[in-house]
Amino acid sequence: MYKDPHQLIEGMMITAFAIGAKQAFIYIRAEFHEGARILERAISEAKKAGFCGNNILDSEYSCDLVVHRGAGAYICGEETGLIESLEGKRPNPRIKPPYFPAVLGLYQCPTIVNNVETLCNVRHIIGMGGEEFSKIGKPNNTGTRIWCVSGQVMKPGYYEFECGSLTLGQLIFDVCGGLRPGRSLKAVIPGGSSAKVLRADERFSGTLKDGTEFDWGLEDIPLDFDGPMAAGSMSGSGGIIVMDDTVDIVEAMANVNAFYAHESCGQCTPCREGSLWMRKISQRMCSGGAREEDADLLLSVAKQIEGRTICAFGEAAAWPTQSFVTKFKEDFIRKATDSPKERDPKSLQLI
Amino acid sequence: MIAPDKKEMVNITLNGIEVEVPNGINAVEAAALHGKEVPHYCYHPKLSVAGNCRMCLVEMGTPMRDRASGEPILDEDGTPKIGWVPKPVIGCATNITPGMHLKTESDLVNECREGIMEFLLVNHPLDCPICDQAGECRLQEFATDYGRGYSRYVERKNVKPKRTRLGPRVTLDDERCILCSRCIRFSQEVAKDDVLGFVDRGSFSTLTCFPGKELANNYSLNTVDICPVGALTSTDFRFKMRVWFLKESKSVCTESSAGCNTLVSSREGTIQRITPRRNDQVNDTWMTDSGRELYKLVKAKSRIRRPSFQGSDLPLDDAISQAFEALKNKKIGVVASCHSSLEEQFLIKRLVEETGAKVFIRGHFGEDDGILLSADRTPNLRGALVAGLTNHYPSDHLNDLNESLADGHVDALLVMGEDLKESGVNEDHLKKVPLVFLGTHQNSTSDCAEVVLPGLTVFEKSGSLINRSFFLQSFDQAIPCPAGLMTDFKILARLIDLFSEDSIAPSELDQIWEALSSSGNSVLKGITFLKIKKGAIQLDESKWEHLSFVEKEALHYLPTGVIAS
């Protein structure tokens, strides 16, 4: 979007033409004012060149494209929440059924909502032809992905690779320069904070979609769509969070929980109350009030959220807790038995 | 979306038992038809579906079919295999389709309900001992029926505003609010006064009015009724009475010809509140705020509590005799009322026939709000038509009475509660003639009456009224009448008896209805009071179709002319 906004515009116009849309929107968080400015400039360039707006390339097909700046809420990433926000309302996700965007979307008109990554790919798929495009990456996992590595690696940053062309271990240790000296890997969240955490000493085995058996360590997980999925997590947004052995797992989870409690829209009961309850529990645990039963309580609360909410935010809020507590139960028990009664003043402030 | 045809009945399997329900209704309603409660907070049958409380989660499945052949897939035992949706679905947004399978009782469903109940209570103040909703609170009821019964919550609860004035009649306790959004949807969809909304996010979401607005519309108290918890409270009723002490009587609102069905709640002869009673053909589950205030008339200062003759009190029997003396051998003018019940109007008609009196009647009109406050501000104008008191549509004055008094065609008056001076009758005319006043509240006419007979308010008597859609509806006595008084139609019956030597006027509801339904007045034929008590009766209105009724199109009401076109 920043470096090549026209691939997004082109992808969107091709998509809009394919579905016969008359109006297209780019919904962008208001915090990305730089991105919004770039896009607006690019759109006016595209309009001048006749690539969008009225009578595109003299084809008698018209589709307007508008940048809409949202006021900054995670839930606006949920497609029906985004639509509500676009209509000028609170971004409360809609119930499905009946409000599937393709049937009753923006202003109750059929609407297709896709993310930037998907639409950028459209331009290349059309440009290269589907067959040629599918040669990038590997079967079922075609194209490229941008992985955003953060956490305790020497060179965090954005890295674009062909799907499946390298493993998680290669990305962390070769591309990102490895961990800091003397540290060892503890855990990785492979696809944004809502993805289930993977433990460094875990083994992942099973059968892939194409029938091949696999038995991986954390570092062997291929970076594509199916790999993290097969390991019980997901490649999600591609945001890889690397944690070394200095990380307090309970603190890490408290941080994630604080985020989800802050971002829950508050519309439906399980997510609204559950996310805040989990935040309060984990915050207490980090502040010297941990109890041995808290681990099970967290699991139970998370289970009461998952699958019972209006939108997928419930899962996004429940999965981190579920995976952190299940996979690092000893850290949670230890927090209760032998941890100081006060929170380390140097710890990150929770939202 | 195309509304499904709700009349067609289809078979579904509810908890393993095949039952018949109307197609397209939602799972909550379908289960209720067969005695299975699906607990819910945000769902309200008269509002749009929000689906946010998640209390009505049920399991839903459909028989599986082979994709290629379309043949049903069978289990080993030969029964169709059911494809259960992996996640529980909300009953309120799940519309019935033929062959659908529902489980409202299963381990998963119970577990969901336990979870939701726990979530709803973690930040709830649990202040039932001081909460007005206690006793009629969905949180209490469902916590008992579907909750775990113990708490695992040791954290601090959220703190929110405890007493926000949302408007002149509604006070909000935000801590009790479960954010079901019923009140918001009501304000948008029914009252058409979009003033409520949530601010802040997540568990800190708070119900409030938009800046500079208040919840002041004439339907604001309905939000209190539909609030499933004690968050929205009626400022008038707040902290006054425990609801389990209240005796409820079915009544009809007399504010206008809309005829909202109501419940009058009283304790020890004192009315504490009026709430709407569901009638899908008349008022759904709503009523006006102004209609709820009418109970205050019972104890109003201007209430007439004692019969009087020339300004001094006397027993009711003597007052009736004085009334007869005053009217006897005179050219009587009877001012009937559209506020009277149909039974009273019938006896007025009888009195008129017995005495050869002239009838005068007026209407009372105001603005039509297009919902439940109609332009005709009397509850029973159509009753006056059905009882035969008039063939014309009443106007808003009594100028013809004024003329009759002026030219001496009328030289005695029996007035049913109306204020004649306000109706265009010259005060000097009134002073010249003997005047008998039968009414509930003092006015300029009662002030100059020779005989004053106290009437009863709608809460102290029984009877029936005909609303704008020609629904004949009954109301029950809610509280005892003041000592020494009796219901209006008994007074009228006594009066008739004094005038007539050879017959006895009916003085009980059953007797009156016996006469009403056999008097050849065809629209009431075959009706008994008991039948009306069982439910509103739609009368044939064709006889009066040509009259120009003042009501505008409103909730469940289309003006006659509109239907014809």
pLDDT tens-digit profile of B219-264? 999 999 999 999 999 999 999 999 999 999 999 999 999 999 999 9
Summarize the confidence of residues A180-204 as an average pLDDT.
95
**CA A288 to CA A285: how far, in whole Å?**
6
**CA B139 to CA B128: how far, in whole Å?**
10
Q: How far is A93 from chain B (nearest CA, A)?
A: 10
Band (pLDDT 50/70/90 cuts) for residue A159 is very high
Specify the pLDDT at position B520: 67
Specify the pLDDT at position B564: 40
Q: Is the dihedral of CA B386, B389, B392, B397 positive or negative?
A: negative
Band (pLDDT 50/70/90 cuts) for residue B565 is very low
Q: A313 is written with which tokens?
A: 């935010």
Residue B456 scores a pLDDT above 50: yes
Asked if B119 reaches chain A (Cβ–Cβ under 8 Å), the answer is: yes
Under 8 Å between Cβ of B265 and B273: yes
Specify the pLDDT at position A338: 80
Per-residue model confidence as pLDDT tens digits over A19-69:
999 999 999 999 999 999 999 999 999 999 999 999 999 999 999 999 999
Per-residue model confidence as pLDDT tens digits over B259-285:
999 999 999 999 999 999 999 999 999
Cis peptide bond upstream of B125, omega within 30? no
Residues 6+ apart with CB under 8 A from B498: B320, B321, B324
User: From residue B419, how far is each of B300, B434, B440, B444, B497 by CA, in Å?
Assistant: 17, 16, 12, 6, 27
Domains of chain B: 9-105 (3.10.20.740), 121-297 (no CATH), 308-564 (3.40.50.740)
ipTM score assigned to the predicted complex:
0.94
Residue A166 scores a pLDDT above 70: yes
Summarize the confidence of residues B136-150 as an average pLDDT.
96
Which CATH architecture does the domain made up of A141-244 adopt? Roll (3.10)
**CA A186 to CA A198: how far, in whole Å?**
9
Best mutation site among A271, A300, A308 for testing chain B: the one with the most B CBs within 10 Å? A308
Q: Where are the domains of chain A?
A: 5-128, 141-244, 249-337
Q: What angle do CA A86, A88, A93 make, to 5 degrees?
A: 65
Specify the pLDDT at position B6: 52
Q: Among B384, B134, B341, B370, which residue's Cα sits nearest to residue B251? A: B341
Asked if B200 reaches chain A (Cβ–Cβ under 8 Å), the answer is: yes
Q: Among A231, A229, A175, A234, which residue's Cα sits nearest to residue A200? A: A231
Band (pLDDT 50/70/90 cuts) for residue B68 is confident
| Cross-chain residue pair B54–A308, CB shorter than 8 Å | yes
Per-residue model confidence as pLDDT tens digits over A87-108:
999 999 999 989 999 999 999 9
Q: What angle do CA A325, A327, A329 make, to 5 degrees?
A: 50
Q: Which of residues 40-69 of B touch A (CB under 8 A)?
A: 49-55, 57
Higher pLDDT, A350 or A20: A20
Band (pLDDT 50/70/90 cuts) for residue B531 is very high
Per-residue model confidence as pLDDT tens digits over B147-184:
999 999 999 999 999 999 999 999 999 999 999 999 99
- What average pLDDT is seen over chain A? 94
Asked if B2 reaches chain A (Cβ–Cβ under 8 Å), the answer is: no
DSSP E strand boundaries for chain A = 23-29, 64-70, 137-138, 141-142, 144-151, 157-162, 185-189, 198-199, 203-207, 213-217, 239-244
- Dump the DSSP string for A229-274: HHTTS--TT-EEEEEETT--HHHHHHHHHHHHHHH--S-SHHHHHH
Q: How far is A279 from chain B (nearest CA, A)?
A: 10
Q: B72 is written with which tokens?
A: 């049903």
Percent of chain A whose pLDDT exceeds 90: 90
Band (pLDDT 50/70/90 cuts) for residue B78 is confident
Asked if B210 reaches chain A (Cβ–Cβ under 8 Å), the answer is: no
Best mutation site among B201, B208, B229 for testing chain A: the one with the most A CBs within 10 Å? B201
Q: Among A204, A298, A179, A180, which residue's Cα sits nearest to residue A249? A: A298
Contact list, B194 vs chain A (CB under 8 Å)? none
Q: A241 is written with which tokens?
A: 């969070």
Give the global pTM: 0.93
**CA B147 to CA B112: how far, in whole Å?**
10
Q: What angle do CA A199, A201, A207 make, to 5 degrees?
A: 80
| Cross-chain residue pair B120–A273, CB shorter than 8 Å | yes
Specify the pLDDT at position B562: 47
Specify the pLDDT at position B91: 96
Closest chain B residue to A311 measured between Cα atoms? B52
| Cross-chain residue pair A269–B53, CB shorter than 8 Å | yes
**CA A128 to CA B472: how far, in whole Å?**
76
Q: Which of B1, B55, B204 lies at the smallest CB-CB distance from A98?
A: B1
**CA B142 to CA B45: how far, in whole Å?**
18
Q: How far is B16 from chain A (nearest CA, A)?
A: 23
| Cross-chain residue pair A308–B116, CB shorter than 8 Å | yes
Q: How far is B122 from chain A (nearest CA, A)?
A: 7
Q: Which of A92, A268, A284 lies at the smallest CB-CB distance from B155?
A: A284
Q: Among B278, B224, B156, which residue's Cα sits nearest to residue A279? A: B156
CA B245 to chain centre: 21
Q: Identify the contact set of chain A against chain B, taking CB-CB distances under 8 A.
A: 73, 90, 92, 95, 97-98, 104, 261-270, 272-277, 280-281, 284, 297, 300, 303-304, 307-310
Specify the pLDDT at position A210: 83
| Cross-chain residue pair A263–B201, CB shorter than 8 Å | yes
**CA B386 to CA B408: how far, in whole Å?**
29
Helical (H) or strand (E) element with B84: strand B82-84
**CA B425 to CA B418: how far, in whole Å?**
11
Per-residue model confidence as pLDDT tens digits over B301-337:
999 999 999 999 999 999 999 999 999 999 999 999 9
Under 8 Å between Cβ of B162 and B174: yes
Closest chain A residue to B87 measured between Cα atoms? A307
Residues 6+ apart with CB under 8 A from B6: B22, B23, B24, B25
Specify the pLDDT at position B1: 40
Please, how many CA atoms are within 13 Å of residue B215, restricted to the half-sphere of its CB?
30
Q: How far is A141 from chain B (nearest CA, A)?
A: 27
Contact list, A272 vs chain B (CB under 8 Å)? 119, 179, 202-203, 205
Summarize the confidence of residues B120-133 as an average pLDDT.
95
Per-residue model confidence as pLDDT tens digits over B501-523:
888 999 999 999 999 998 666 79
The residues facing B537 across adjacent strands are B472
Contact list, B49 vs chain A (CB under 8 Å)? 95
- What average pLDDT is seen over chain B? 94
Q: How far is B420 from chain A (nearest CA, A)?
A: 54
Helical (H) or strand (E) element with B316: helix B316-327
Which CATH architecture does the domain made up of A249-337 adopt? Up-down Bundle (1.20)
Per-residue model confidence as pLDDT tens digits over B393-438:
999 999 999 999 999 999 999 999 999 999 999 999 999 999 999 9
| Cross-chain residue pair A307–B54, CB shorter than 8 Å | no
Percent of chain B whose pLDDT exceeds 90: 91
Fold of A5-128: Rossmann fold (3.40.50)
